[in-house]
Every structure is written in C-alpha cells, then in structure tokens.
Amino acid sequence: MRTPARLLGLAFAFVITFFAGSAAAFADEPTGGAWPDGEERSNLYLLVLFGGGTVGLFVIITLFALLTARNNYVPPAPGKEIHVLSDTTPAQHH
C-alpha cells in the first residue's frame, strides 16, 4: 500500500469516528433549559488545565525514560591469553 492511500485511509477513519462520536453526543444532548449553564472559566484556566496536563504528562514520561535508561555492562572481548592452572596448584575459592 502506498503512502497516499495510507494517509487517505487514516483521514477517512478519523472522519467516520468524528461523525459517529458527534452523533452520539447530539443524541444525548438535552433540549431547552434542561441543562443549566455551568460556571464560566477563563481561557487561562482552560489553557493551564488542558495544556498543563499534557505538558505534565510529557515531563513524567521523559523522567521515567531517563530513570529507566541505563548503560548495560558489556564485558571486554576475550583476549588471546589462556590461563591454565597446574594440577598441583590448589583451587582458589573467594
């Protein structure tokens, strides 16, 4: 499948999902005065609520990634020297 077809498929799926979600929201919406208006919130409050939550989530994920990232120990490549103990040498236990 080519890239334009993938993008078109993604756009089509988004539009279908958007309309399906909107239809469900409009079906549940009360008419008239059944739904009282809530308290007004400032744009700054909404920006901090939604934008701050998103930024906070990115910060938490980044901190988790930094805490879990580590350099694993990689032993050095084996050398050409072979250390052979003679039969008369007692074994060294540490």
Is the pLDDT higher at 12 or at 84? 12
* 29 within 8 A of 35, measured Cβ to Cβ: yes
Is the pLDDT higher at 21 or at 59? 59
What pLDDT was estimated at residue 87? Answer: 66
| Stated pTM of the model | 0.36
pLDDT tens digits for range 31-84: 666 667 778 889 899 888 888 888 999 999 999 988 888 777 788 887 777 766
Radius of gyration of the chain (CA): 32
Structure tokens at 12: 């089509």
pLDDT of 85 over the 90 cut? no
